[in-house]
Amino acid sequence: MPILETIGLEKRFGGVTAAHGVSLALEKGARHALIGPNGAGKTTVINLLTGVLRPTAGSIMLDGRDITALPPYQRVRLGMARTFQINQLFSDLTPLETIGLAVSERLGSGSDWWRLVGSRPAVTEEIVEIGERFRLTDVMHERTAILPYGKQRLLEIALALACRPHVLLLDEPAAGVPDAERHELLATIAALPKDVTVLLIEHDMDLVFSFADRISVLVNGGLLVEGAPEDVARDPRVKAVYLGEELDA
């Protein structure tokens, strides 16, 4: 049974149809990429999946459960997390606090008002471990706003993973990352746990083809093609859509 499934997902804004008939099925552990030209509706799909947007039609199933009507925070609690194309972080908080928030919430102590932050060892241990895994240890106490972009991007991903998701949605993780810091980022993505299902939106074709075992192509809000990377790369329709752009296979 697919762990994440959408059935006929559609989103209309007034007269504009941003997405229509989007049906995806991701098996557990899948590495699935969603590509398409700018404005194709990829971020809309992610927003629909995470609950930021309500679909005009269609449904979303997570692990066999219909989550179409659930608000974003409940989907996170059921095991779905995302990163944002443009870093959405808490500029005045430190990475320590940021990751701590996600871990706390997950462990159920997010609403504790009488305890001090940091007084639960399970939480602090996990924060330290995540910090080490994402090479953020040396900046744990800096304000997020002053961190270099690459570190912020790592924090963005670390934050999503701190939620221990079953399904991880990465929205253009490599976007805006300077060349010097890309290597770290790509290594982190490659090292994602094998049992986590990943849906990746990307423009960087190197990353897509090295990472994905299945690719869906989204054009003008609809799915054009879906299949294994080699097949998608050879598909003439895809080449036409990208206007003859060179697709490395």
Contact range with another protein by CB under 8 A, out of 54-62, 158-166, 191-199, 226-234: 158-166
175 near another protein (CB under 8 A): no
Q: How many CA atoms lie within 13 A of 163 on its CB side?
A: 22
Output the smallest distance, CB 152 to another protein, in A: 12
Q: Which of 81, 73, 212, 95 is nearest to 153 (CA)?
A: 95
Residue whose CB is less far from another protein, 8 or 110? 110
Q: What is the DSSP secondary structure assignment for residue 1, as one 8-state letter?
A: -
Q: Report CA dihedral (73, 24, 37, 55) to the nearest 10 degrees.
A: -50
Residues whose CB is less than 8 angstroms from the CB of residue 16 and which lie 6 or more positions away in sequence, other chains included: none
| Cα–Cα–Cα angle for 214, 156, 22, rounded to 5 degrees | 35
| Residues β-bridged to residue 10 | 57
Which of 23, 91, 176, 245 binds another protein (CB under 8 A)? It is 91
Q: Which of 77, 183, 234, 237 binds another protein (CB under 8 A)?
A: 77
How buried is 13 (Cβ within 10 angstroms: 0-12 exposed, 13-18 middle, 19+ buried)? exposed
Binding-site member from 20, 84, 166, 217 for another protein (CB under 8 A) = 84
Sketch the per residue contact string, 103 through 142, with another protein: x for CB under 8 A, - otherwise.
-xxx--xxxxxxxxxxx-x--xx-xx---x----x--xxx
Please give the biggest Cα pair distance in the chain.
Answer: 62
- Interacting span for another protein (CB under 8 A) from 4-12, 62-70, 82-90, 173-181: 82-90
Q: Quick count: other Cβ atoms within 10 Å of Cβ 43?
A: 19
Residue choice 41, 100, 150, 221 for contact with another protein (CB under 8 A):
100
The least CB distance from residue 121 to another protein, in Å, is 7
Q: Give the contact letters, 44-73, x = binds to another protein (CB under 8 A), - = no.
A: ------x-x------------------xxx
CA–CA dist 87, 145 (Å, integer): 11
Site residues, another protein (CB under 8 A): 50, 52, 71-74, 76-77, 81-82, 84, 88-94, 96-98, 100-102, 104-106, 109-119, 121, 124-125, 127-128, 132, 137, 140-143, 159-160, 162-163
